Amino acid sequence: MIKAIVTDIEGTTSSILFVKDVLFPYARANLPGFIRSHENEPQVKPLLEDVCKEVGSELSTEQIIAQLIQWLDEDKKVTPLKSLQGLIWEAGYRQGDFKGHLYADAAEKLKEWKANGLDLYVYSSGSVYAQKLLFAHTEYGDLTPLFSGYFDTHIGGKKEQQSYRNIAAQLAIPANQLLFLSDIKEELDAAKAAGFETIWLTRDNAPDPQAEHRQVNSFAQISFAT
């Protein structure tokens, strides 16, 4: 009996290409200027300190920028990078440079589930701020009212079992009443090991006959007992 759904974003509700071809290049192009002009602001300074803590040494502003660009190019899910990306994307969304991509099937099902009384949550490596921006600026309008909460890497890495235990504890819902949706097998394995129900969004990829997760191409194929 599923009481709530926790969904990943990139590759699940939204296209990987949107993240790789629109969001990441926008952050890469704007990151140096953003850091140089905001480095002493209270929202930014602690994030730059976190970069230094992560590498274990004091870095100059230019070294911090170089480190962040390297992590970005390697798609490292490092918390201060993800937080800074969210702040940089804000301008892009507000100026209408891009909209948050959402598959039509995801938009439709999320609305249906919410209307049927299910609580919806997001768990993405993108910061909570970035998650809210994406869902607030979709071509289907502001979808943030659909969601009851958001989780990012502050709760733990997405391939770690403990992160899913933390989410279940925070929601005060038994893990076996939570359904996790993702496009990444290792994330689904971690969620399943923590007791979650899981569904793998394979989208355009071939199904994996070995995987211990139900596999679907789209949200339209998802069904479960409530």
Ligand X SMILES: CSCCC(=O)C(=O)COP(=O)(O)O
| Contacting positions for ligand X (CB under 6 A) | 8-11, 19, 23, 77, 82, 85, 124-126, 130-131, 134, 158
Least Å distance, CB 102 to ligand X, is 11
Q: Judge whether 151 and 6 are in contact, CB under 8 Å.
A: yes
Least Å distance, CB 136 to ligand X, is 11
If one counts every other C-beta atom within 10 angstroms of the C-beta of residue 141, the result is 11
Number of residues near Mg ion (by CB under 5 A): 4
Sequential DSSP letters for 109-143: HHHHHHHTT-EEEEE-SS-HHHHHHHHHTBTTB--
Nearer to ligand X, 35 or 72 (CB): 72
Q: Judge whether 127 and 86 are in contact, CB under 8 Å.
A: yes
Least Å distance, CB 58 to ligand X, is 27
Nearer to ligand X, 13 or 67 (CB): 13
Nearer to ligand X, 184 or 211 (CB): 184
Residue of closest CB approach to ligand X? 126
CA distance 211 to 200: 9
* Stretch of residues binding Mg ion (CB under 5 A), selected from 7-15, 29-37, 40-48, 105-113: 7-15
Nearer to ligand X, 205 or 226 (CB): 205
Instruction: Provide the token pair at 213.
Output: 């997760």
Instruction: Provide the token pair at 37.
Output: 């002009």
Nearer to Mg ion, 11 or 100 (CB): 11
Of residues 126-185, those binding Mg ion (CB under 5 A): 183
Q: Judge whether 211 and 185 are in contact, CB under 8 Å.
A: yes
Examine residue 11 and tell whether it contacts Mg ion (CB under 5 A): yes
CA distance 115 to 100: 22
Footprint of Mg ion on this chain (CB under 5 A)? Answer: 8, 10-11, 183
